[in-house]
Homo-oligomer: A and B are copies of this chain.
Amino acid sequence: MRIKDIRERRVSLADPMANAGISYLQMTASAVAIEVEADEKGIVTGYGFSSVGRYAQSGLIAERFAPRLMAKESIEGVNGGLDPVGGWASMMTDEKPGGDGDRAGAVGVLDMALWDAAAKIEGIPLWRLLSKRYNEDRYHDLIPVYATGGHYYPDGDLEALRDEVKSYLDSGYERIKIKCGRHDLADDCSRIEAVLGLLNDDGSRLAVDVNCMCSTSGETQAMADAYAPYSLAWIEEPGHPHNFELLAALTDYYDRPIATGENLFSMSEAYNLLSYGGLRPDRDMIQVDPALSYGIVEYANIVRMAEVAEWPRSQMVPHAGHLLSYHAVAGLELGAHEIAARADFVLGGLQDDVEIAGGAGSLPQAPGIGFETHANLWSVLNDL
């Protein structure tokens, strides 16, 4: 069993949406196809597609990671089947430790394509393969989900924000996350209040993402004071992702849940978050994104590391709503799946056979990740 070809293309994710820190007008992602010669199964193609927010990795893939995978004699595991772990080790040969940034996304999107191919070779959906390899055959029958959106519109229109949230509720979602933190706290509160009425004034159905905008614990305290009356589901990414000191000051001050980790990209970075961030396993959430963090091989180690540190899997909630993460949430029995619910967004929604109702999604059935059953993504990947 051998890799026959690897193809990558840079795809625009340009979008007028913005968060508190960056614009998405120039955002890109990598679309990847890996052809595997799988003995009696013939050629099996695994696909990968980057998560959002960190750009395509065409250069790193072409310069380092695809050639190392291509050079590998065999991609077959000791017990047969395709072995993404061996592929991962090849990709990381002669890479120094630390510096987990863009390369974590480059390796992540290739690892994703290997897992897609591995599950297709076994003829099962990826969640099933992950449940077998990493979770003693257990998986979620219904996957808890929440809708993410509520970015800043160019004209700052609260009515458009309300309409967006209404459309998510109409689609079967029950929990929503919106963006805050771009302007001042009064603006944040008006955004929260614009939405809360649609959620029966139940703050536990609303999360806010401030995208790292606090730089002092004074700022986090002012934010906590302003948000506390709403009893929100969680506040996401309060400060710089490495600022564990600020995070610990916030969790010491504020009782409700905090979610963070989407801008950390390895087990060693996640370990330090748990060691120094003052986070509380009974309520806070770890949002490391498998697609941006060296893929499933590393992410499975992160989940295991967190369990050793007495964090239940229910507190692991991957960032960004990727099809890959949906399988991870289902097969590893994680806390919840984030869904970019806008149908026009290329990464929006889930596999076409998934049904959302009552705030939960069903299990996809196609072999592999199921990119072939997601119209937007398949229109890109089919072309590779």
Contact = CB atoms under 8 A, between A and B. Distances in A.
A96 interface: yes
Most buried by B among A24, A55, A245, A264: A55
Interface string A241-284: 11111000000000000000001111011011001100000000
B97 A99 contact: no
Interface stretch (A58-66, A323-331, A350-358): A58-66
Contacts of A57: 59
Contacts of A36: none
A23 B269 contact: no
Interface residues on A, range: 35 or more
Contact of A240 (B58, B61, B268): B268
A26 interface: yes
Contacts of A154: none
A98 B10 CA distance: 22
Given A242-B272, A243-B268, A245-B275, A53 B98 contact: no
**Chain A interface helix/strand/loop/mixed:** loop
B63 A263 contact: no
A101 interface: yes
B53 A59 contact: no
Contact of A98 (B95, B103, B241): B241
A99 B243 contact: no
A264 B271 CA distance: 16
B55 A64 contact: yes
Nearest to A59: B59
A124 interface: no
B63 A10 contact: yes
A22 interface: yes
A99 B98 contact: no
Contacts of A241: 97-98, 268
B63 A95 contact: no
How many copies of this chain does one complex carry?
2
A22 B96 contact: yes
Interface string A153-197: 000000000000000000000000000000000000000000000
A80 interface: no
A63 B57 CA distance: 9
A263 B97 contact: yes
Most buried by B among A63, A93, A99, A276: A99
A59 B59 CA distance: 4
Nearest to A265: B99
A374 B336 CA distance: 57
A102 interface: yes
Nearest to A60: B59
Interface of A: 10, 21-28, 53-64, 93-104, 212, 240-245, 263-266, 268-269, 271-272, 275-276
Given A55-B64, A59-B60, A59-B62, 18 more contacts: A22-B93, A22-B94, A24-B94, A26-B94, A54-B99, A59-B59, A96-B263, A98-B101, A98-B265, A99-B100, A99-B102, A99-B104, A101-B103, A101-B104, A101-B265, A240-B268, A243-B268, A275-B276
10 contacts: A22-B95, A22-B96, A53-B96, A54-B96, A56-B63, A59-B59, A98-B264, A99-B102, A242-B266, A272-B276
- 3 tightest A-B CB contacts, nearest first: A59-B59, A101-B101, A98-B263
